[in-house]
Amino acid sequence: MKEPLGIIAGTGFYSISALKNPEVKVIETKYGQAQVTKGTWHDRITYFLTRHGTKHSVPPHKVNYRANIQALVDLGVKDVLAVNVCGGIDKNVPVGGLQVVDDFIDFTKNRISTFFDGEEGVNHVDMTNPYNQDLRNVLIKSCQNLNIPISDGGIYGGFEGPRFESKAEIQMAKQMGVTMVGMTGVPEVVLAVEKGLRYAAICIVANPAAGLSNEEITMEDVQKVVETSAAQVVQVLDEATKILAQ
């Protein structure tokens, strides 16, 4: 039997109706509590974790990323599929479009971004390929099977939040090659890699990043795009879990 699958998502994803026999569990870890929903998806035990809580009450800089990752490890998860709602910099990916990123730059400032802070010893973990290529291929193939346009490859820029980025920050990130900006993908990916998890992320463009359109960014507009795109992303995850179950 395959190990349990982990699904992590944020804004707009507070439950997944495709999970059969869902059961909410609170997992105690040495880093604090994490709430997960246990169910089955294509006959595979799956743990769904929503970063911001079921009522979007936890801001991105307050998410207990270490507890979330440790909980999945303690539950026996080896593979994690993540969903990130992003501001788009890549002009080739429109609002509502999807991209499977393959690298990141960490612009966060005040987060605990490692398990190796001395208590668990010192370890320098390789980050050459933080997003697992096999899982990336599964997400890309899932989109192709469903005839959903997908951008293969990109750089996620993780910012502190909870404010949106400034125009100058976006121009800086753009010059560094960043294609997507968000507030939750880092340190999540780092912690997953440190714990030996296979991790891949699919990003939804909820809005053009600051200064790339004539409109101000509002949460209302972001929510509207996510509401439209969420069903499509769940379709992709459903196809991915089907492929991984084979």
The model's pLDDT over 121-141, given as tens digits with 9 standing for 90+, comes to 678 999 999 999 999 999 999
Instruction: Identify the pLDDT of residue 219.
Output: 79
Instruction: Identify the pLDDT of residue 236.
Output: 96
Residue ranges in the chain whose pLDDT is less than 70: 1, 14, 54-55, 120-121
Instruction: Identify the pLDDT of residue 240.
Output: 97
Instruction: Identify the pLDDT of residue 57.
Output: 76
3-class DSSP assignment, residue 179? coil
Integer Cα distance of 192 and 70 in angstroms: 9
Instruction: Identify the pLDDT of residue 165.
Output: 96
Q: May I ask the CATH architecture of the domain 5-245?
A: 3-Layer(aba) Sandwich (3.40)
Q: Delimit the domains of the chain by residue range.
A: 5-245
The model's pLDDT over 85-111, given as tens digits with 9 standing for 90+, comes to 999 999 999 999 999 999 999 999 999
| pTM for this model (two decimals) | 0.94
Q: 195-198: long-range contacts at Cβ-Cβ below 8 A with a sequence spacing of 24 or more?
A: 195/69, 195/70, 195/73, 195/115, 197/6, 197/69, 197/72, 197/73, 197/77, 197/78, 197/79, 197/80, 198/78, 198/79, 198/80, 198/132, 198/134, 198/135
The model's pLDDT over 8-30, given as tens digits with 9 standing for 90+, comes to 998 777 678 889 999 999 999 99
